[in-house]
Amino acid sequence: DDESGQAAFDAVIAADSRIEPRDWMPEDYRRTLIRQISQHAHSEIIGMQPEGNWITRAPSLKRKAILLAKVQDEAGHGLYLYSAAQTLGITRDEMTRQLIDGKAKYSSIFNYPTPTWADMGAIGWLVDGAAICNQVPLCRASYGPYARAMVRICKEESFHQRQGFEILLTLMQGTDAQREMAQESVDRWYWPALMMFGPPDDESPNSARSMAWKIKRFSNDELRQRFVGMLVPQAEALGVSLPDPTLRWNAQEERYDMSEIDWTEFHEILAGRGPMNAVRIQNRRNAHEDGAWVREAAVAYARRQALKAER
C-alpha cells in the first residue's frame, strides 16, 4: 500500500540507493522524472540540428567523420533517455507528439544558429562542457535507469568536449581571421551556455524537491559556478577571452563574481521566441512525418513475423 511504499521509498533515498522501475514511488517523483528525462531526451534530439548544419561543410574528411560520429552519439543519447523515460509509464509516441506540437521544453541552448565553423568548436567546448558539468552529478541520481544512462552519456560527452576544444585550439593557432572567428563564436555561446544550468536558485521552482529526492545533487547556481571555474584556465590555454568584463575570483566568498545573466533572453527562448525555435520544431516535425513509412513498415513486418510464429 501507499504507506509502506512511501516508507520503503524514503529508506532507499536516505540510504543513497536506487529506485527501480517496479518499485513504488510517489506520483510527483514519477512526474518530475518524466518531465526532466523527456526534456533531456528532446534536447539531445533537437541538439543534433545546430551541428548537423555543418556536416556537409566540415573543412576536411577527418573533421567530417568526427562531427558525424558526434551527431550520431547525440541521437543515441536521445534514445537511451527516451527508453529511461518509458520505464516510468509514458510512451515514446506521447513524448514525440509533445515535442512536435511545440508543447515540450528542451534546452534553451539549441535555439541559437550556427553560422560559422568555429561554432562547432564553441558548442563542443562550452555547450558540451556545461552538459558534462550538469550531468556528472546525475550519474548518482536516485532513479536507476536515468543514472545508468548518464554514465555512458557522460563518457561520450567528454569526447565531445575535447573535440570542440581541439577545433578552437586549431583555429587559435591559425590565421588572424581564424582567431577572430573563434573568439566571435565564444562571445556568442558563452552566455547561452551559462543559461543551460537553468534559472537562479531563488527562481528555480523544482530544485528543492528534486534535491530532496536526490535527482539533483547540486543547485543550478552551484553548477554554474563550477562550470565557470572550469572554463577560466581552459580559456587561458586556448588564448580566448570570456566575454564578461566583471568576471573575477572572489577569494573572500570563494566564488566567481560575474555580470548578471540576461534572463529576459532566457525567458523569451523558453516561450518559443528564440532565433531558431520555430525552425528546430519544424525540422523535427518534417523528419517525423517523412519517417511515417518506416514506422508503418516496421509494424507490418512485426505483424507478419507474429503471424508466422503462430503457424
Residues 247 and 259 sit within 8 Å (Cβ to Cβ): yes
Q: Which stretch binds ligand ACO (CB under 6 A): 11-19, 53-61, 191-199, 241-249?
A: 191-199
Per CB under 6 A, does 148 bind ligand ACO?
Answer: no
Q: Which stretch binds ligand ACO (CB under 6 A): 1-9, 102-110, 227-235, 291-299?
A: 102-110
Q: How far is CA 167 from the centre of its chain?
A: 21
# of chain residues touching ligand ACO (CB under 6 A):
25
Per CB under 6 A, does 105 bind ligand ACO?
Answer: yes
Per CB under 6 A, does 163 bind ligand ACO?
Answer: no
Q: CB-wise, 172 or 189, nearer to ligand ACO?
A: 189
Which residues sit opposite 256 in a β-bridge? 249
Q: Which stretch binds ligand ACO (CB under 6 A): 53-61, 113-121, 198-206, 279-287?
A: 198-206
Which of 84, 141, 181, 196 is the binder for ligand ACO (CB under 6 A)?
196
Residues 85 and 95 sit within 8 Å (Cβ to Cβ): yes
DSSP 124: I
Q: CB-wise, 69 or 297, nearer to ligand ACO?
A: 69
Give the position of cell 541521437.
Answer: 75
Which of 114, 220, 225, 277 is the binder for ligand ACO (CB under 6 A)?
220
Which of 53, 87, 158, 206 is the binder for ligand ACO (CB under 6 A)?
206
User: How far apart, in whole angstroms, are the C-alpha atoms of residue 198 and residue 180?
Assistant: 29
Per CB under 6 A, does 124 bind ligand ACO?
Answer: no
Residue 187 CB coordination number (10 Å): 14
Per CB under 6 A, does 199 bind ligand ACO?
Answer: yes
Per CB under 6 A, does 35 bind ligand ACO?
Answer: yes
Q: Which stretch binds ligand ACO (CB under 6 A): 20-28, 169-177, 204-212, 229-237?
A: 204-212
Q: What are phi and psi of 216, to 5 degrees?
A: -95, 140
Per CB under 6 A, does 137 bind ligand ACO?
Answer: no
Which residues sit opposite 248 in a β-bridge? 257
User: How far apart, in whole angstroms, are the C-alpha atoms of residue 191 and residue 261?
Assistant: 7
Q: Which stretch binds ligand ACO (CB under 6 A): 13-21, 58-66, 189-197, 246-254?
A: 189-197
**Burial class, 264, CB count within 10 angstroms (exposed 0-12 / middle 13-18 / buried 19+):** exposed
User: How far apart, in whole angstroms, are the C-alpha atoms of residue 283 and residue 294?
Assistant: 17
Residues 121 and 181 sit within 8 Å (Cβ to Cβ): no
DSSP 57: G
* Binding to ligand ACO in span 246-275, by CB under 6 A: 270
Per CB under 6 A, does 111 bind ligand ACO?
Answer: no
User: How far apart, in whole angstroms, are the C-alpha atoms of residue 137 and residue 227?
Assistant: 13
Which parts of this chain interact with ligand ACO (CB under 6 A)? 35-36, 39-40, 43-44, 47, 105, 107-108, 131, 134, 195-199, 204-207, 210, 216, 220, 270
